[in-house]
Structures are given as C-alpha cells and as structure tokens.
Chain A
Amino acid sequence: MRMFSKHVSSLLAAYIDGQLRAREARRVTLHLEHCEHCRRERELVESGMSAVEHLSLVHAPDAIWTAIEAALPSRPLWQTQRNPAWRFVFATLVFILLAGAGFWVFEQRIHRPGMAWELRPIQGTPVVNAKPVHGAVRVGAGEWIETNSSASVTVKLGEIGVVDIGPNTRLTLVTARPSENRLALVRGQIHAKISAPPKLFFVDTASGTAVDLGCEYSLHTDEEGSGQLDVTQGWVAFQWKGQESLVPAGASCLTLPKAGPGVPYFDDASGTFKRGVYNFAAAKFEGPWLEVILGDARVRDTLTLWHLLPRVGVRDRERIYSRMAALAPVPAGISRAKVLRLDPETLKRWKDELAWVW
C-alpha cells in the first residue's frame, strides 16, 4: 500500500508541535492510524520532546572554562594559538545562540496561547494516548482521545469554545494554534459550542470537514463517513472536494461515505420532504424523488432547493429554479440564466437574500 511506503518520520516533530499545514497534518494522522512503525516513532519523538521540556536551564560554572582551557592541546592544529581571545569569543557566541534557540523553542511549545486544550472527564474513564484519564489533563496536537460506551469528556479549547465528546468516540487533535484549531473525528459524536470568529475551528471526518462559521452544533460519524450534522446556532459549512453544504441553525445535514456532505434540510420540514431529500441523494440526485421534494417544499425549504441547484442536471435545475421563484420572489439582480449557469456570485447573492426567509 502506498500509505505504508511513505513513512512520516521526518514530519513527526512538526506534527506534534502543530506546525504542519492542515492537509499535511491530516495525511500524517491517517498514516499514523495504520502504521505501527510510525506510531512507535511518534512515541519516541514525543518522549524526547517531553524530556527536553522538563530540562531546566542552568548556567555553566566558571570553573568549567579553566578545565576546558587546561584540556586544550598546548599546540593547536592550526594557528589559533596566536589569538586565544577569538576562540573564547566564538565559543561564547555559539553558547548564546544555542541557549537562545533552546529558549525560543521552549517558549513556543509551552507558553504560546492555544497550544494545548484542557480535557476533563464528565463520566467514566476516557483514554488519552491509550492511558486512562481520571482528572483534568492538557492535550496537545497529535494526541488521541477515546471514550468507551460509558465515558464522555469535555474539552475546553482555550478561549474559543468547548467541545463535549460523547461515548464510543475516537478522535485526535490535529492542530491547536490560535489561528486554527482542528480535530479529526474518526468515529463517535461531538457537540461543539464555539464563541470565536468564523473559520477557527475545524472537524475532519471521513466524509468531509465541518468548518465553524460561528456556531453550536452536534456531529456524529462512523469510520466510513456516514453521519449527521445538527446545527443549533449560527452556521456550519461542511466541505468535501470542492462541494459545500451550508447548514444554518435549525437545520441538519447527512454525511455520506465517499460522497461528502448531503443536502441540508430544516428539522421542521415534513417527513415526506425529508424522505424525498434522503432518497434523492441516495439516487445520486436523479429520478422521481425530486417531484416529491418540489411538491412538499415550503418557503424556508428553499434552503434545500438552493443546495440542490449545483447537484442536478440542467433540466432539473430549471424545475428547481421555477419552484424556488414561486415560493420566494427572486430578488432584483438575480438572473435566471446566471442561476442556471451556476454563476457563483449570483448563487451567493441569492442565498444571502433567501436566508431572510430561512
């Protein structure tokens, strides 16, 4: 398998430090899941880094210089003997540079805000990196959190929000930086309440990435990527391979294995409508279920219809446009031709207007 032929040893230190780009970090996460060799290496790197962190800086005793001088050969290999002061200056400079670099690394790892999350068990005994956790601990990038059927935890993401992790969940913290907080949810359920500005908190799943746009939501998924996103406040964008579903408060969206996010629908839509959406998606957005959706759509169900526009063929798109226009007046400046051509700017403007009836 290609995954095993490309070990990630060289990236591990940066991965643990949260310095990798999101895409690269995701690749490392996936690789680690399947590669015992790299997992062992990660543990070694982690323990090495941890040991470095616990070392305290001490000043060298003055006597050491006398000892070094004494140990030096009386006749140097080259003519440095002519200027022993330079040697001393050079050694001092190297020492200062090394000490400075060490201090900088220490500061970056320990004191940078948002570098670690605070995990606290709610019930049962969760596991962090295969070790049971009984009280509050700090978790950082690269660490795995797992709960069994009777365990749940709450994780405080610095100042930006809180994530509750439900039972039977396995996830890893991919990035914990002030500018990006990202976790990879392998399976299970989380509930996130984020108070930070949009696009600071991301959750990767097998069927796409949930991007926080200032929100509160629940997300559950299995290892294949089947799952559901329920939004209670704000917006969540669910993205996968250039496809995006924008899910507002009061709406949900199914996630499908190898097909990315489904089409969002409002939770108060009729059962017939929801069934239609589910079956139409399962039929790869073709066939008679569109008739059911169009027939049962209310004004606020234009949320679903708007998302269907880029997913269907031109003929069905025309039908959807007509139904949307009948449900909510098309605002000035939104041209039918541009909608049918899927002009991104036109679709965005229409969505922003439709949001006033969602």
Chain B
Amino acid sequence: MRFGMFVLLSAALAMAQDFAFQVASPVASQDFHFKAAAFVFRTTGCSSAEAPKISATAEGIISNQRQSVPLKVVEGSKPGVYAVFQSWPRDGQWLVDLTGTCGPATAGALIPVERNGFNRNSAKFFSHRPTNNEIEGSLTELAQKGNK
C-alpha cells in the first residue's frame, strides 16, 4: 500500500511541470495578427484557476546608454498564447525581460531580440524574476557579440 502510494506520488511529481515560459517564432501562434510580432510565448505548468500574471520590459544599450522600455503583452486568439511587438529602438542591443507568476510560482526569461528576430539559442530561462545582475550580464554578452 505504502509502496503504491510512493509510486503514484513519484509519478505525479515527475509529471508535474514547473511553471515556465516557452518562446517561439510568431508562426507558432497560428494567429495572423501576430505575424509581425518580435516573438510569441506561452506558459507551461500553471495549474492555477487564474491566468498567470505576466509583465515584460525591453532592456537595452544604445551607445553605452542603458534604456528600459515597458512593454504591453498582447494575448492572442488562443488562450495562453501571447505576443511581444517591438516598440523599442532598432539601434543597439536589446533583450526582453519576461516575468510571470502563477500562484506562488514565478518564471522569468531573458529573450535577446536582434535585427533579424529573436535569438532562441541565446534565450535564458529562470524560475525567478530575472535579477539586475542577470539582465546586465546578458546585455554585456550581447554587446560583446555585437562588437565582434
């Protein structure tokens, strides 16, 4: 009996997904309104009855000057699918800081957006709101990459 419960509990824990962001090209949304978005994203692992709360900020460096631009996250025709549109300058190095909460759980992501779109391979995902150090570190990496 105990062994059975242990197995069930272990299986349930193994199957439970952590609350996280999944980021993709606008085509993933299957929503033509989003075709010009910088990227789209959805959340996974949020079993709360309420929709997760999400905020986004563009963080960038233009000519060695740090800039922050609050962003509006747009929900699409499919529930739980959101888009971020570029409303920050084209110049410089930029990333989007995403933070979401689902009940007690938090998810964060730093998504670099370059001239030809978002960079999936350089995106970073966290189980907390991205810290200032993490944001600055990612921007420095982008700037170094941009200078190469």
Which chain A residues have a beta carbon within 8 Å of chain B's beta carbons? 197-198, 213-216, 233-235, 248-250, 352, 355-358
Beyond A198-B32, A249-B26, A356-B22, 15 extra complex contacts between A and B, CB < 8 Å: A197-B32, A216-B35, A233-B26, A233-B35, A233-B36, A234-B27, A234-B32, A249-B35, A250-B25, A352-B30, A355-B25, A355-B27, A355-B30, A356-B28, A358-B25
- In the bound assembly, the distance between CA atoms of A352 and B30 in angstroms comes to 8
Which of B24, B27, B36, B117 meets A235, CB within 8 Å?
Answer: B27
A11: min CB distance to chain B, Å: 33
Which chain B residues border A216 with CB–CB below 8 Å? 35
Size class of the B contact interface (CB-based, 8 Å): 10 to 19
Which chain B residues border A214 with CB–CB below 8 Å? 32-33, 35
Taking a contact as CB atoms under 8 Å apart, the answer to whether B27 and A249 are in contact is yes
B114: min CB distance to chain A, Å: 13
B116: min CB distance to chain A, Å: 9
- In the bound assembly, the distance between CA atoms of A357 and B121 in angstroms comes to 11
Which of B22, B25, B30 meets A249, CB within 8 Å?
Answer: B25
Minimum CB distance partner of B23 in chain A: A356
Which chain B residues border A249 with CB–CB below 8 Å? 25-27, 35
Taking a contact as CB atoms under 8 Å apart, the answer to whether B36 and A358 are in contact is no
Which chain B residues border A198 with CB–CB below 8 Å? 32
7 shortest A-B CB distances, which residue pairs?
A: A214-B32, A234-B35, A248-B27, A355-B28, A356-B24, A356-B28, A233-B35
B60: min CB distance to chain A, Å: 23
Taking a contact as CB atoms under 8 Å apart, the answer to whether B26 and A358 are in contact is no
Taking a contact as CB atoms under 8 Å apart, the answer to whether A234 and B25 are in contact is no
Taking a contact as CB atoms under 8 Å apart, the answer to whether A355 and B35 are in contact is no
Taking a contact as CB atoms under 8 Å apart, the answer to whether A358 and B27 are in contact is yes
B34: min CB distance to chain A, Å: 9
Which chain B residues border A248 with CB–CB below 8 Å? 25, 27
Which chain B residues border A358 with CB–CB below 8 Å? 24-25, 27-28
